[in-house]
Amino acid sequence: MRLEAVSKRYGRGGWVLREVHADVPPGTAVAFRGGNGSGKSTLLRILAGVSRPTGGTVTGRPAVVGYVPDRFAPEGRMSPRAYLTHLGRVRGLRTAEAAARAGALLDRLALVGGADAPLRTLSKGNAQKVALAQALLVPPGLLVLDEPWSGLDVSAHGVLAEILAEVARAGGAVAFTDHREAVTAAHASRAYTVENGRVRPSDPPVPRVDPPVPGVPAAEVVLTHPDTGRLPEPVDWTTLPGVRATTPEDGARTRLRVERAHADALLRTALDHGWSVAEVTREPAGPGRTGGPA
């Protein structure tokens, strides 16, 4: 999917998006990051086809689009299960198929205690799970998610990451917003920065390398996604104590250099967030691998 010179203003207001060029190719997860009010939600609504651009062209939108809006506050007495079954029928599924799909998605997202309660009584996190489920009732060729992690509990974070990867693996395009660098780096293979209505490609994640500290022993740690196929949660390694260098090798593998005194804590954090430890190598105290003599 491609946006060319897309601009948007609401009524006679100022321009919210100006001359936006962006590609969201099949099989790819693309992140749009930017501050509050920068125009991210407007851009996603145009991608999803729920809002029309004032100028420019949008081409290549797949037939089936799943859209998770930034706010989803369902009303009414219908239960999530009945609501999703109904939406599944609207999208062309037979009743039994729609009910099975709705149940499977609600189980996977662990809508604890909420599947048969009235929609209007749902907590923010459970409403977000229903928003996700409705976008996935029919496998989408394009999945558009506006701040999808907001309100979700930690176990749902992992499930959401799995879902993004599955849609992309099946050849679907994924576009999402988030303002956290660690999240976009972990889940997107392409990223754009949205600022004052302008959109530019973001640089790939930059490896952080601090100079070695003479006399402080370090360890090199390689973390990977586990063999179970379950995706780990994103962690901003640079904020952990003692981490001196991070080098994302690809989406599934990260190399870190950490002071040895902080290595156990780093490994614990990695394991707690679902990462697998592939290698730990002790480095000699002193200059480390990249430096000269202290």
Ligand X SMILES: Nc1ncnc2c1ncn2[C@@H]1O[C@H](COP(=O)(O)OP(=O)(O)OP(=O)(O)O)[C@@H](O)[C@H]1O
Residues interacting with ligand X, by CB under 6 A? 10, 13, 16, 34, 36-42, 70
Among all residues, whose Cβ is closest to ligand X?
41
CB nearer to ligand X: pick between 11 and 293: 11
Three-class SS state of 34: coil
CB of 272 to ligand X, least distance (A): 29
Within 10 A of 113 (CB to CB), how many other CB atoms are there?
9
CB of 194 to ligand X, least distance (A): 6
Q: Is the distance from CB of 133 to CB of 84 less than 8 angstroms? A: yes
Token readout for 248 is 């994302």
CB of 116 to ligand X, least distance (A): 32
CB nearer to ligand X: pick between 39 and 148: 39
- Helix then strand count (H, E) for the chain reads 7, 14
CB nearer to ligand X: pick between 39 and 141: 39
Specify the DSSP class assigned to residue 100.
H
- Strand 142-146, strand 2-9: pairing: unpaired
CB of 11 to ligand X, least distance (A): 7
CB of 27 to ligand X, least distance (A): 25
Report which secondary-structure segment, H or E, holds 283. Answer: strand 276-283
Token readout for 151 is 């309100």
- Strand 243-250, strand 208-209: pairing: antiparallel
CB of 134 to ligand X, least distance (A): 20
CB nearer to ligand X: pick between 34 and 148: 34
CB nearer to ligand X: pick between 45 and 225: 45
CB nearer to ligand X: pick between 85 and 193: 193
Using alpha carbons, select from 146, 131, 145, 156 the residue that is nearest to residue 36.
Answer: 146
